[in-house]
C-alpha cells in the first residue's frame, strides 16, 4: 500500500528523536513487563525503533532488519 511513498518516509520524519523515543519505550517496557524478551513493532515506519530496541529485545515487524 505504501510502496510509492516508502522512500520518502525517512526524509519526512528526519526531525524525530528516535534515540530518545527508544529510551522512553525501553523504560516503559521494563516498567510494565520487566521479563520481556520479545516485542512486536506495529506501525514501524522506517524501522528505526526496531534497530535501537533490537539491542535489548528480539523485535518482530520491522521493515529493516536489525
| pLDDT of amino acid 40 | 92
What pLDDT is stored for residue 33 in this prediction? 96
Confidence at 1, pLDDT banded by 50, 70, 90: low
Write the DSSP assignment of the chain as a string of letters: --TTTHHHHHHHTTT--HHHHHHHHHHHHHHH-TT--EEE-SS-TTSHHHHHHTTTSEEES-SS--
The 10s digit of each residue's pLDDT in 26-64 is: 999 999 999 999 999 887 777 888 889 999 999 997 554
Provide the greatest CA pair distance for the chain.
39
Mind listing the pLDDT tens digit for each residue in 11-26? 787 888 889 999 999 9
Residue 55 to residue 12: CA distance in whole angstroms: 25
Number of Cβ within a 10 Å radius of residue 45: 19
pTM for this predicted structure: 0.72
Amino acid at each position: 500500500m505504501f510502496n510509492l511513498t516508502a522512500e520518502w518516509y525517512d526524509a519526512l520524519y528526519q526531525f524525530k528523536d528516535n534515540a530518545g523515543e527508544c529510551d522512553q519505550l525501553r523504560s516503559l517496557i521494563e516498567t510494565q513487563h520487566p521479563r520481556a524478551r520479545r516485542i512486536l513493532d506495529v506501525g514501524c515506519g522506517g524501522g528505526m525503533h526496531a534497530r535501537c530496541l533490537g539491542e535489548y529485545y528480539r523485535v518482530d515487524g520491522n521493515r529493516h532488519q536489525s
